Amino acid sequence: MKNYKNFDSAVIHGGIFGDEKTGAVNVPIYQTSTYEQKRLGKHKGWEYSRTGNPTRTALESLIAELEHGVAGFAFASGMAAITAVLSLFKSGDRIVISDNIYGGTFRVLDKVFNHFNINYKIVDTTNLEAVEKAVTEDVKAIFIETPTNPLLHITDIKAISDIAKKHHILSIVDNTFMTPYLQRPIELGSDIVIHSATKYLGGHSDIIAGLVVVNSIELAEKIAFIQNSTGGILQPFDSFLLIRGIKTLAVRMDRHVENAEKVVEYLKNKKGIKNIYYPSNNAINKKQAKNGGVMISFELEKNYDINKFFDSVKFVALAESLGGVESLVCHPASMTHASIPADIRKKVGITDNLIRLSVGIENINDIITDLEQAINESEVK
Ligand SMILES: *Cc1c(COP(=O)(O)O)cnc(C)c1O
């Protein structure tokens, strides 16, 4: 029996708590590929670790509980999770995607799934009329991110799932940027939630992992079949590390968000900064998420040298990725979003002076002191 009600207890007690056999408070790492069977056709529910592994199962039941879904699935990366979900579709199907979706999602559709005649339509999903218009007969799903990366555009999750329901197609949300602590799409009607657990769920920049949560038994059976057939599973040790990371999700996110809000306040008053992207005041975000999250993007004014900024950060590290305890900055135009064609990049606003910041949980004064000196250093005099 689950004797707790709140999310910050569920991250610690959710799924399968501990080990019944020994009383260990942590689920053991079942580092095994196979399981001894008593007789032909008689086993203990485990046959082969691609199909199922108790450590992975513990993680999968935990994320299903946190996202309020029917079942969860753990994959070797966020991209493996996305690939498994896209494997639901058939030749001739099309998928509507947000216009500044994660670069890797765009790339796998544009360069891999197109081989199988599964194509996409890029739509500004913040514009519901445009989404409605894009859902033609061949469209079988709407795949959104909200907030988007790196411009933090907000799409109305409930409105999108309503459109999907009306047309009997799937609504899929990549919830990496918010985590179930801040936003739970299945409660808003979405069918499938995807995570790059490499980011906030893992939280320590030490694993690559992906998760999928579905809202129905039918979808659970399909994803389980795809997971077992294509085999992009998460290993037992990484499953353990991810469970370990999720235990501190609530406390980490509280500190991440507190720091992010302070950085936004600082940037608002800082000379040389224009276009700060942070969704805290967006009415739709307020309705569907707990707060504005952790990611901030901002632009340097024209008379600031972007290379010099990245050369000057010392405490805040220049790196791809996000969501770890340490603060990271990156240059979307040349790093995370380089695979998006330059004209589309420019159209959506990913300019060459845009900086994306994943605010860590360090002392806020150290984060701001470093940004202050790097911004000052990059002014062209
Ligand atoms: C990082 C990321 C992915 C891809 O995940 P990997 O774990 O790197 O494979 C997908 N979606 C979003 C929003 C991401 O930030």
Residue-wise pLDDT tens digits, 340-375: 788 888 887 899 999 999 999 999 999 999 999 999
Q: What is the pLDDT of residue 261?
A: 97
Residues with CB under 6 A from ligand 1: 77-79, 102, 104, 145, 149, 174, 176-177, 196, 198-199, 208, 210
Q: Is 50 a catalytic site residue?
A: yes
Average pLDDT over residues 34-44: 93
Stronger pLDDT, 144 or 337, i.e. the higher one: 144
Q: Is the pLDDT of residue 1 over 80?
A: no
Which atom in ligand 1 lies closest to the alpha carbon of residue 176?
13
According to DSSP H, which parts of the chain are helical? Answer: 7-13, 54-66, 78-86, 103-111, 128-134, 157-166, 179-182, 217-230, 236-247, 249-268, 283-288, 306-312, 342-348, 364-377
pLDDT of the residue at 345: 84
CB neighbours of residue 331 within 10 Å: 22
Two tokens, residue 162: 């309503």
Highest mean predicted confidence (pLDDT) among 19-23, 225-229, 322-326, 349-353: 225-229
Q: What atom of ligand 1 comes closest to residue 101's alpha carbon?
A: 13
Q: Is residue 174 among the annotated active site residues?
A: yes
Residue 18 or residue 230, greater confidence: 230
Of 83 and 281, which is predicted with more confidence?
Answer: 83
Confidence label for 321 from pLDDT (cuts 50, 70 and 90): confident
b/e string for 249-282 if b means 16 or more Cβ within 10 A? bbebbebbbebbbebbebbeeeebbeebbbbeeb
Average pLDDT in the 112-118 region? Answer: 98
Interval 299-314 mean pLDDT: 96
Note the pLDDT of residue 103: 86
Please identify which residue in the block is written with the tokens 């765009």: 106
Percent of the chain with pLDDT over 90: 90
Q: For residues 42-50, give the mean pLDDT.
A: 94
pLDDT band per the 50, 70, 90 thresholds, residue 337: confident
Main-chain dihedrals φ then ψ at residue 123, nearest 5 degrees: -135, 145
CA–chain centroid gap for 306, Å, is 27
Kindly state the percentage of the chain with pLDDT values over 70.
100
**Per-residue pLDDT tens for 53-82?**
999 999 999 999 999 999 999 999 999 999
Sheet with 94-98: list strands edge to edge.
71-75, 210-214, 192-196, 170-174, 139-145, 94-98, 119-123
On whether the CB atoms of residues 141 and 148 are closer than 8 A, the answer is no
Token code pair at residue 6: 């709140």
User: Which strand ranges, in their side-by-side order, compose the sheet holding 317-318?
Assistant: 273-277, 295-300, 354-358, 328-330, 317-318
pLDDT in tens, 188-247: 999 999 999 999 999 999 999 999 999 999 999 999 999 999 999 999 999 999 999 999
Catalytic site residue from 199, 252, 255, 356:
199
142 and 122 in contact (C-beta within 8 Å)?
Answer: no
For residue 215, which phi and psi values (nearest 5 degrees)?
-105, 5
| C-alpha of residue 206 to centroid of ligand 1, in Å | 14
Q: Which residue has the higher pLDDT, 281 or 260?
A: 260
Of 93, 99, 156, 174, catalytic = 174
**For residue 197, which atom of ligand 1 is closest to its CA?**
7
Residues 6+ apart with CB under 8 A from 283: none
- Please tell me which residue in 30, 102, 200, 277 is annotated as part of the active site: 102
Q: Is 39 helix (H, G, I), strand (E, B) or coil?
A: strand
Residue type, 261: E
177 CA → ligand 1 middle, Å: 9
Q: Decide if 107 is catalytic.
A: no
pLDDT for position 38:
92
Residue-averaged pLDDT of the chain: 95
339: pLDDT strictly greater than 80:
no
Please confirm, yes or no, whether 370 is among the known catalytic residues: no
